[in-house]
Amino acid sequence: MVRIKESVLELQDNTFYAAWDDITTTTAWNRPELHNLIKWRDTLFNLHNGLEGINVYLVGGYAEFLYKPSNPLTWDADVCFIVEESVDYKRIKRILDDSLKIALEVGILLDQKAITPYTHSFFQSLYSGVVPEYNNDKIIYFKNFKSFEKIINGNIVVAKSTAAPPNMEYENVYPGLYKVFGINKKLIDKVINKFKKGIYTGRLIDLKNTDFNFTT
């Protein structure tokens, strides 16, 4: 069940609890499955007028898995909403919040960001094994939470903040919406390492136009 955040003390007897700021769940998610991804997409698109003016892509490990099921199945699905830096903050905050809530309701975990076209182009080069020259200040994305925590059987398993890893800065541009600048070198190294292992090949899926018919 997805809910607005309660005190963790009230939930201490539950076996599972996860929170993205004020969005919380006490139901553990499963590894992504295609039928759940489609249900998430259709529900979100119907709720937000087809996400008019925003391109949406599935990228990363789960996109690669759908084309090559011999790849390891990930625990999350990476989704990018492509927006301009001047995006309507209120609108994208609502989309990101609804997207996360719907995903949790259908039982999948999203690693989602709203990213600029420049950032999208950078990451597509990276997923294809190329580290392009880039301006760190132009790597920009938006997230709808600052902190994430996961508690299992009363033990804190994950507790981390979106705020400012090395080479990155963030700005609270709207209540509950954070604009993040820059990229952490550890992430670059992680992506390139997965490319070298053959896990990443630069695959992405246009969620507005795909028929979900994958060649394996």
Q: What is the structure's pLDDT at 57?
A: 97
Say whether pTM exceeds 0.75: yes
Which pLDDT value is given to residue 211?
Answer: 86
pLDDT band at 216 (very low <50, low <70, confident <90, very high): very low
Q: What is the pLDDT of residue 9?
A: 39
128-137 long-range contacts, CB within 8 A, separation 24+: 128/195, 128/200, 128/201, 128/202, 129/192, 129/195, 129/196, 129/200, 129/202, 131/188, 131/192, 134/183, 136/167, 136/181, 136/182, 136/183, 137/181, 137/182
Q: For the residues 142-165, what does the mean pLDDT come to?
A: 82
Question: pLDDT at residue 130 above 60?
Answer: yes
pLDDT at residue 8 above 60? no
Above 60 in pLDDT, residue 14? no
**Domain spans, the chain:** 30-145+162-206
| pLDDT value for 12 | 52
pLDDT at 11: 46
Using only C-alpha atoms, the chain has a radius of gyration, in whole angstroms, of: 17
What is the per-residue pLDDT across 15-38, written as a single tens digit (0 to 9) for each?
A: 899 999 999 999 999 999 999 999
- At 73 the pLDDT is 94
Q: What is the mean pLDDT of the chain?
A: 89
- The secondary element (H helix, E strand) that includes residue 62 is helix 60-67
**pLDDT tens digits, 170-200:** 899 999 999 999 998 889 999 999 999 999 9
